[in-house]
Amino acid sequence: MTEKQVNATSAGAKRQGVTLERTLHDRFGVSALSALTISEVSTLIDELKGNLQSA
């Protein structure tokens, strides 16, 4: 996972007002961002952006 993906995920969760750790657990069954694959991180970023745009 890239540093840019980590930053985008953290920022997106913060903007959404969601707890990243809870989202990781609920959505992917993991407790740390580092446990996700690059593809999973990309999916999460897209979902956070989608939620922001539809709000």
Q: pTM (2 decimals)?
A: 0.75
pLDDT per residue as tens digits for the range 14-41: 988 989 999 999 999 999 999 999 889 9
Place of tokens 């740390």: 32
Determine the pLDDT at residue 51: 67
**Could you give the CA distance from residue 34 to residue 2 in angstroms, rounded to a whole number?**
10
pLDDT-derived band at 53 (thresholds 50, 70, 90) equals low
Q: Is pLDDT at 55 greater than 50 in this prediction?
A: no
Q: Which tops the pLDDT comparison, 1 or 33? A: 33
Contact by Cβ (8 Å): 1, 38 = yes
CB-based burial, 6-25: b 16+ in 10 Å, e otherwise: eebbeebbeebeeebeebbe
Determine the pLDDT at residue 38: 86
